[in-house]
Structure 1
Amino acid sequence: MTHLQKLTKPVALILIIAMTSLTWGCQTTTNAGRGAGYGAAAGGLLGGIIGSRSGSWAKGAILGAVIGGAAGALIGNYMDKQAAEIDRNVEGATVERVGEGIRVVFDSGILFSTASSTITSTSRYNLEKLARILNNYDDTNVVIEGHTDSVGNEQSNQLLSERRAQAVSSLLRAYGVSGNRLSAVGFGETRPVATNETESGRRLNRRVEVLIYANNDLKRQAQTGELRM
């Protein structure tokens, strides 16, 4: 069963560094309308510390740069509907609305066998369902993050996280998601979301995150009033 969540934690201000050429969505603490009151500078400053606390740089970046106003509300509504579809249809994933984006988290133990980057047959089916939804909401870009626990060699963990992120990206592409929308990155053991001192914590750290955010065309549609949901 999936679990649709929303991030509401207030944070202090901190500068973030842009990754590649990604342009990120707006700080929205609950639903579609909350994006209306924030400015771009404040949102960008907020993003980095949220990401560092959550273990996900891209999650922080989604919360960082801001569109705001009516355009932010329209994008938020677009993402609300997409997140709800993922939550209903994709088993084994935790779905979280973050700012004007979506964070989908898969336990690596569900997607892969131990120490493997080969996606299981059951997970292939669920990723196919995710791909169908991504194709229905095609005005978004997608970052796939691979993460491991700290057991074993650090370099091996890094390589495994990269291979797993790439495996998910390649399968989504095979199911019709444009490669231009997809970016895969591995963080190895460097972005834990729980302690590595317990098995339950290590399990949480072994994960693949799929971060979905508005592309430039969706932003343009929202800003010009063309976007209708």
Structure 2
Amino acid sequence: MNRRLMLAAVALPLLAGCTTIDALMNPDPASQPARVVFFTEDSPTLDETGRATVRGAAEVARAYPSARVNVFGYAGPVGGVAFNRVLSEQRAQYVAQLLRENGVAADRVFVVPRGPVPFDQAPIESRRVEIRMAAQ
């Protein structure tokens, strides 16, 4: 058996269970970068670009089937604390639902609403959801 064929015989079974090469090369899900999606002002839903980012995050999450997927929701300071707490949770719940719709098991997705962020952050940075992987 030549070397390439031997390498393929060893590597293919390892790759079969992985959605991405990252999962094979680095088994720690926390090493994956956070995926961040941005919302328009006062909106709890995403445009197609944001939904595509969530689909990409779901693909990575599927590569780590035992990892926890934390969904952190944020909102800006304008509009009052109570309003922005609710909005940050709506945003996080929306992203969590998209993750579930894209194949991430519901018992792995954890919503963490963070509420409004301080005034010193730029407005676009405050209207976001972060998706972060963590070991269970």
TM-score (norm 1): 0.44
Q: Which runs of 5+ in 1 are unaligned?
A: 1-76, 83-99, 216-229
Give the drift of 1:102. 4.5
- Match among 42, 65, 74 for residue 147 of structure 1: 74
Change beyond 3 A, Cα 1:114–1:205: closer
The AA in structure 2 aligned to 1:161 is S
Alignment correspondent of 2:10: none
Kept in 1: contact 2:73–2:128 (CA 8 A): yes
Kept in 2: contact 1:101–1:211 (CA 8 A): no
Give the drift of 1:185. 2.0
The AA in structure 2 aligned to 1:145 is F
Give the drift of 1:207. 2.0
Percent of aligned positions that are identical = 30
- Match among 102, 121, 127 for residue 48 of structure 2: 121
Question: Post-superposition, which runs of at least 4 consecutive aligned residues in structure 1 deviate over 6 A?
Answer: none
* Count of residues paired in the alignment: 112
SS of corresponding position for 2:130: strand
Kept in 2: contact 1:144–1:209 (CA 8 A): yes
Higher relative contact order (CA 8 A, sep 6+): 2
* 1:78 and 2:27 are equivalent in the alignment: yes
Give the drift of 1:168. 0.3
Q: How far apart in 2 are the matches of 1:103 and 1:165?
A: 18
Alignment correspondent of 1:157: 84
Change beyond 3 A, Cα 1:143–1:151: same
Q: Which runs of 5+ in 2 are unaligned?
A: 1-25
Alignment correspondent of 1:205: 126
Q: How far apart in 2 are the matches of 1:116 and 1:212?
A: 25
Alignment correspondent of 2:34: 104
Kept in 2: contact 1:149–1:205 (CA 8 A): yes
The AA in structure 1 aligned to 2:44 is S
Give the drift of 1:209. 1.6
Change beyond 3 A, Cα 1:166–1:158: same
The AA in structure 2 aligned to 1:136 is A
Kept in 2: contact 1:148–1:205 (CA 8 A): yes
Q: How far apart in 2 are the matches of 1:103 and 1:206?
A: 19
Q: How far apart in 1 are the matches of 2:131 and 2:109?
A: 10
Kept in 2: contact 1:105–1:207 (CA 8 A): no
SS of corresponding position for 2:122: helix
Change beyond 3 A, Cα 1:170–1:107: closer
Change beyond 3 A, Cα 1:148–1:105: farther
TM-score (norm 2): 0.71
Change beyond 3 A, Cα 1:144–1:102: same
